[in-house]
Amino acid sequence: MLRLNINQLLAVILFVSSLGYLWMAFQIPVFPIPRPVDSDAFPKMLGLCLLILSVFLFLEKVPANVAEDKTSKEADVADDLPQTGIMNPKMQVLGASVGVLAYAFLIKPLGFLAASIILGVGLAYWFGYRNHVVNFVTVGSIVLSLYLLLSKVLGIYLPQGIIPF
């Protein structure tokens, strides 16, 4: 059975993306005044390079040390973290990603202070920090001093949101 290793899988993804990139490069309009090298030339070249390199990547042998890395990864994880529930490493990364996204959409309605504190405390909890008082005090004071520095000392305008301060 044909089984792709991770390099080959990525090579396929890159190959397809570079085709998409090239297609877009061919959509770039021609500049009405003739140019020796127009806007589309460089993107076409880049797309072509990526296309060729992705083929090379597909054919590249997986070096032995990647396999080595994998065993050390398992050892690391087993050492540090329980694998179940939210402490599952994948859930951790997912949680952090959702956190960044949430921050992007909440910073304006909630304001800088509230959004930063909620997210900072929440993420630390998600990552497994259980001393709630220390968590809140540390994150709170760091965010507050950042806010004071940026908004009061430097005069940078930050959204105030629900805490009008």
Partner 1 sequence: MKVNLSTPLKSLALIGAALTLTAGMAAQSVASDWKPSKAVEFIAPANPGGGWDTLVRTAANVIRTENLAEVNFAAINVPGGGGAVAWAQIARDNRNDHKLFATSPPIILVPLAGTSRFNHTDFTPVARLITDYSIVLVANDSPYQDINDLFAAIGENPRLSVGGGSAAGSMDHISIAGAAAAAGLNAASVNYIAFSGGGEAMTSLLGGHVEAVITGAGEAVAQLQGGDLRALGVSSPERIPGLDVPTYKEQGVDYTFDIWRGVMAPKDIPEEALRYYEDLFARMMETDDWKEATERLGWLDAYQNSEEFGAFLDGQLEQFRAVLGELGLLRN
Partner 2 sequence: MEALNNLMYGFSIALDPINLMYVFIGVFAGTIIGMLPGLGPMSALALMIPITFNLNPATGLILMAGVYYGAIFGGSTSSILLNAPGVAGTVATSFDGYPMAQKGMAGKALAIAAYASFVGGTISIIGLMFIAPLLSKVAVSFGPAEYFALMVLGLTAVVSLSDKSLVKGLIAAIVGMMISIVGMDLQTGTERYTFGSIEMLDGINFLVVALGIFALAEVFYMLLRGGKKVQKRNEIGSLKLSMSEVKEMAAPVARSSVLGFFTGVLPGAGATIGSFLGYSMEKRLAKDGDTFGKGNIKGVAAPESANNAACGGSFVPLLTLGVPGSGTTAVLLGALLVMGVTPGPMMIEQRPDVFWGVIASMYVGNIFLLVLNLPLIPYIARILDAPRALLLSLILIFCMVGVYGLNFSSFDLVLLLVFGLIGLVMRLNGFPAAPLILGLILGALMEESMRRALQISGGDWSIFIDKPISLVLLLIALLSLGLPVVKKMIQKSRSA
Q: Using the 8-state DSSP alphabet, how is residue 28 labeled?
A: S
Contact 120, 139 (CB under 8 A): yes
Q: CB-wise, 31 or 105, nearer to partner 1? A: 31
Applying CB under 8 A, among 3, 56, 71, 84 the residue interacting with partner 2 is: 56
Min dist. Cβ of residue 85 to partner 2 (A): 14
Applying CB under 8 A, among 86, 105, 152, 162 the residue interacting with partner 2 is: 105
Please give the residues from 145 up to 164 whose contact with partner 2 meets the rule CB under 8 A.
146, 149-150, 154-158
Please give the residues from 31 up to 60 whose contact with partner 1 meets the rule CB under 8 A.
31-33
The stretch among 28-36, 46-54, 125-133, 146-154 that binds partner 1 (CB under 8 A) is 28-36
Burial, 151: exposed, middle or buried (Cβ in 10 Å; 0-12, 13-18, 19+)? middle
Task: Write out the two tokens for 93.
Answer: 């990364």
Q: Which does 24 bind (CB under 5 to 8 A by kind): partner 2, partner 1, none?
A: partner 2
Burial, 80: exposed, middle or buried (Cβ in 10 Å; 0-12, 13-18, 19+)? exposed
Task: Write out the two tokens for 141.
Answer: 């004071």
- How many residues bind partner 1, per CB under 8 A? 4
Contact 16, 52 (CB under 8 A): no
Find the farthest-apart pair of alpha carbons in the chain and give their distance in angstroms, rounded.
67
> Does residue 22 sit in helix, strand or coil?
helix
Applying CB under 8 A, among 110, 113, 114, 139 the residue interacting with partner 2 is: 139
User: Which residues contact partner 1 (rule: CB under 8 A)?
Assistant: 31-33, 157
